[in-house]
Amino acid sequence: MSIAWERVLPVLVSIGVIITVAIVRQYSRTFAAIAATMPINVPLALWIVFSADQNPASRAAFSEGLLIGILPTVLFLIVSFFVVRAGWPLVPTIVAGYVAWGAALGILLLLRRGTL
């Protein structure tokens, strides 16, 4: 049985990034925050899609989905920033971020379909 490295390696890189952020956080919160928000998942996702699908139209559609998905993610971060600044604890902060993310994603998907 051979290992499908084009599928395994992106997962290993993701694990490495998580461990790096956990270690670097002890020395520099700023660098840890930068490392945590680096575009790591996007290249990894592209890597997986490119290795599995040779159709340029399909690749472009996937890239468009990534572009649409980044806007709700930015809103997640903005909401999280404001509620943390307001003194909210971790779990409500994450819930508020995901509520904003989900609402924004839903609106974008409805706009994309032309139903809103």
Q: Compute the residue count for the chain.
A: 116
Q: What is the pLDDT of residues 77-102, one digit of tens each?
A: 999 999 999 999 999 999 999 999 99
Return the structure tokens found at 106. 């839903």
> Tokens standing for 39?
């575009």
34 plus 66 within the same structural domain: no
Between 76 and 35, name the one with better pLDDT.
Answer: 76
Same domain, 71 and 113: yes
Rounded CA separation 2/49 (Å) = 20
Total domains, the chain:
2
Most confident residue range from 2-11, 21-30, 41-50, 73-82? 73-82
Burial of 67 (0-12, 13-18, 19+ CB in 10 A): exposed
Do 74 and 108 have their domain in common?
yes
